[in-house]
Structure 1
Amino acid sequence: MTTAHLLPAALTALFIATVPIAGAQEKSSLIWTPMRTVVLNSTNFPSTGTAEEQQILKQLWSEDLSRVRRNVRGLYPVFLLIGDVRKGPRRIIFSMFSSAGSERCDPPANGASSHDIYSMCNMRVTPWPQSNGKQTDLPNYCAIFGEKPEIGRIEYSFDPTLQTINFRTVQYGKIVQECNKTLKLD
């Protein structure tokens, strides 16, 4: 089942609300791209994002980055996921932020009987380049940070026919159905 969010008026020029898509398209025919990981304040975890994406994320998440907690060795690592699609001359960036002490994500359950490795995070959706600060944070998006792609990843696809961006979570090689989301471009 796919779910979606109603976006605030600030982004209505880019998106309109979507409804669950029940068989409207065959999602297996879409091309899925993994969201890239950008890691700040640590060399212990690999980054797959580009230098340009790192700079974009530093701008989009500057307020959260200014509040990153410290320990005796320095700043705690920051994990960010980024993806983007282009619609004509416009680029739409979607990203997620996680760091120790941040309230942007609820971590996965921890314990002997825990299975899921995804966090529930806010996804920030931003038109790029940012002209007047318009962006929105959408709650309850699944995120997997710092795992090998074969263990867990977040993927997205753009369907130019339906003008939708689809998101899915792959955990242990299987799609997590409750994490499927769709955004519709206006």
Structure 2
Amino acid sequence: MPLGAAPEEAALAERLQFTVGTGPCASAESCRHPVFAVEEEMLRRWPVFAGLLHRETPYRAVVALPLELGLSGSAAIDLYFRRSADVAALDVFEAMAVGELVGSALSDAALWSTWRAERGPDWLHGPTPQERTAAWAAVDRIAAELGVGPDTAVALLRARAYVLGVPADQVAADVRSGRLPVSDLQVPTET
């Protein structure tokens, strides 16, 4: 769940990573280690994401740092670079320390803030997390209306986004508003 990004190009880079369903952030979150991805590494490991990132943003490298969220689970923070060479100048220990502080603050907010259980903490109600929550609601709708599992539903959403050349969040918004009928995403059946 993205909590925010700045500048707008970084928000777009995050949406592109969600659209393709893989990239440095997902890798850092799953392996629990920092991921340093300069342009050549991204092209090798995540070619679709690398191509979109190169075409749509000024970024040429990503450093993804895992965040420990205690009882809340795990996450990662992405740092985007305009030049691959700038990654070498990053003080990894300082970046990890900042990541630990962010993870600790989010964990504390989830555990100790006063919020109603049905609403969750306030930081989940900003525009960026709400956009992604809406995307997952669209996935649920696609799954229910087409009678497919959530993995298939998210794959259909991402495929449409890729074909249209737009972020998956935009396709999800079109599904939720009714501009894109769910039946248009249906998996073709063999005849």
Normalised by the length of structure 2, the TM-score is 0.26
- The structure whose RCO (Cα within 8 Å, separation 6+) is larger is 1
Say which one has the larger Rg.
Answer: 2
Normalised by the length of structure 1, the TM-score is 0.27
Instruction: Flag the structure with higher helix content.
Output: 2
